[in-house]
C-alpha cells in the first residue's frame, strides 16, 4: 500500500556509512492484458515509480497508466530481435536501484508464474536491494474467467496443474496421469510444442477426444477460444499461425464452456457489456 511503501523507502535511505541500497524494486504482475485486471497495488506502484522496466506482454493501455515523467526501459523482444538476456535485465534493475531509483519491473500475468520473477528477486537480494512482489492475475486464471472454463469444478476436476510447454523435448513428463486423474492441465508457452504434446499424450494412452481449449490473447478485446480435442490439437495450433500469446487448457472442465458461455458477457473497460460467446 501507499503507506507501507513509504515506510520501506524511509528504511532504505542510505545510512551515514553510505552502504545501504537506497533504491527499491517492485516486481509487479500486470495480469493477462485487460487493464482492469491490474491490482490496486499494481496501479499505485505504477503511479509512484520513477523508472519502469517492462516487457512484451504488457499492453499499451496499461503503459498509459504510467505518468509521463517516468523513465521507461523496454527489455522485451521486438521485431524478431533477441530480447535482452536475463543477466542484462538483472543488471539494469540492480544498477538503477543502486542509483536510488524507485523501479517498477512490470511483467505479464504474475511475476512468479513462468515470469522469472524469482531470478530477478535473487539478483536483487544478492546486491542487498529491497524489493516487493505485487502479484498479478496469471494467464490461466485470467483466460479461464474470460472464456468460461472453470479450472476446477466439483466432481469434474479436483486440481489444476500449470506447466510450461517448452520442456517438451525428448521425454515427456507423465502428464497422462494428471489428466486421467480428473485434473486440469494448463500449458503456458505450449503452442509451438502442440505436436509434441499431442503425440506424447496420445502415446501415453490419453483418449483422442480428450477435451482441449486454446485461448489466444485472453482478456483482451481480441480474445478467441478454440475448443478442440487432443487428436486435433496440432492442427488447431498450426491454423493459428503463431497468434500470441496463447494458452492451452486440457481437461473435462473444457466441456463446461458450452453451457457456461451462453450468457457470458465481457464487462469491457468503462462497463459497456458486450457478448463474447463466439
Ligand atoms: N507470467 C505470465 C506468463 C509468462 S509466460 C503469467 O503469469 O501469465 C508467457 C505465456 O503465458 C504465453 O506463452 C502464454 O502461454 C501465456 N499467456 C500470457 N498472457 C496470455 C494471454 N493474455 N492469453 C493467453 N495466454 C497468455
Q: Are residues 113 and 30 in contact, defined by beta-carbon separation less than 8 angstroms?
A: no
Q: What is the greatest pairwise CA distance in the chain? A: 68
Residue 2 in this model has a pLDDT that exceeds 70:
no
Cα–Cα nearest to 254, from 194, 196, 179: 179
pLDDT digits (tens, 9 = 90+) for 172-229: 677 777 777 789 999 999 999 999 999 989 998 999 999 999 999 999 999 999 999 9
pLDDT digits (tens, 9 = 90+) for 152-168: 999 999 999 999 988 65
Which is the closest atom of ligand 1 to the Cα of 110? 7
Beta-carbon contacts of residue 138 (< 8 Å; ≥ 6 apart): 29, 32, 109, 110, 113, 162
Cα–Cα nearest to 54, from 99, 101, 115: 115
Average pLDDT over residues 38-55: 97
Q: What is residue 43's three-state secondary structure?
A: helix
Task: Please work out whether the CB of residue 247 comes within 6 Å of at least one atom of ligand 1.
Answer: yes
Task: Please work out whether the CB of residue 33 comes within 6 Å of at least one atom of ligand 1.
Answer: yes
pLDDT digits (tens, 9 = 90+) for 129-148: 999 999 999 999 999 999 99
ipTM at complex level: 0.99
Which is the closest atom of ligand 1 to the Cα of 111? 1
Q: Are residues 76 and 89 in contact, defined by beta-carbon separation less than 8 angstroms?
A: no
**Model pTM score:** 0.88
Quote the pLDDT of residue 220: 93
Joined together, the cell numbers standing for residue 23 give: 533504491
**50 catalytically annotated:** no
**77 catalytically annotated:** yes
Tell me how far apart the alpha carbons of residues 10 and 6 are, in angstroms, rounded to a whole number.
6
The region of weakest confidence among 54-58, 69-73, 109-113 is 54-58
Task: Please work out whether the CB of residue 102 comes within 6 Å of at least one atom of ligand 1.
Answer: no
Q: How confident is the model at residue 80 (pLDDT cuts 50, 70, 90)?
A: low
Say which of 34, 41, 55, 110 is annotated catalytic. 55
Tell me how far apart the alpha carbons of residues 121 and 112 are, in angstroms, rounded to a whole number.
10
Amino acid at each position: 500500500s501507499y503507506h507501507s511503501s513509504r515506510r520501506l523507502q524511509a528504511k532504505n535511505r542510505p545510512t551515514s556509512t553510505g552502504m545501504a541500497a537506497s533504491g527499491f524494486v517492485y516486481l509487479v504482475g500486470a495480469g493477462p492484458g485487460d487493464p482492469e485486471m491490474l491490482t490496486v497495488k499494481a496501479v499505485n506502484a505504477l503511479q509512484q515509480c520513477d523508472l519502469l522496466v517492462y516487457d512484451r506482454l504488457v499492453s499499451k493501455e496499461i503503459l498509459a497508466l504510467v505518468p509521463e515523467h517516468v523513465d521507461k526501459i523496454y527489455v522485451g523482444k521486438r521485431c524478431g530481435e533477441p530480447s535482452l538476456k536475463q543477466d542484462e535485465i538483472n543488471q539494469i534493475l540492480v544498477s538503477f536501484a543502486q542509483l536510488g531509483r524507485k523501479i517498477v519491473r512490470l511483467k505479464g500475468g504474475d511475476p512468479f508464474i513462468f515470469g522469472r520473477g524469482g531470478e530477478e528477486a535473487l539478483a536483487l537480494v544478492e546486491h542487498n536491494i529491497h524489493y516487493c512482489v505485487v502479484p498479478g492475475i496469471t494467464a490461466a486464471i485470467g483466460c479461464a474467467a474470460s472464456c468460461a472454463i472453470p479450472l476446477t469444478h466439483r466432481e469434474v476436476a479436483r486440481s489444476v496443474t500449470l506447466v510450461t510447454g517448452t520442456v517438451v523435448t525428448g521425454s515427456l513428463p507423465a502428464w497422462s496421469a494428471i489428466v486421467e486423474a480428473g485434473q486440469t492441465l494448463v500449458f503456458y508457452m505450449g503452442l509451438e510444442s502442440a505436436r509434441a504434446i499431442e503425440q506424447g499424450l496420445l502415446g501415453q494412452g490419453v483418449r483422442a477426444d480428450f477435451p482441449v481449449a486454446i485461448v489466444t490473447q485472453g482478456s483482451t478485446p481480441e480474445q478467441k477460444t478454440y475448443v478442440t480435442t487432443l487428436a486435433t490439437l496440432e492442427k488447431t495450433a498450426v491454423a493459428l499461425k503463431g497468434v500470441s500469446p496463447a494458452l492451452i487448457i486440457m481437461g473435462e472442465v473444457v466441456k463446461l464452456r458450452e453451457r457456461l458461455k451462453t450468457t457470458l458477457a465481457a464487462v469491457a473497460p468503462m462497463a459497456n457489456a458486450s457478448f463474447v460467446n463466439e
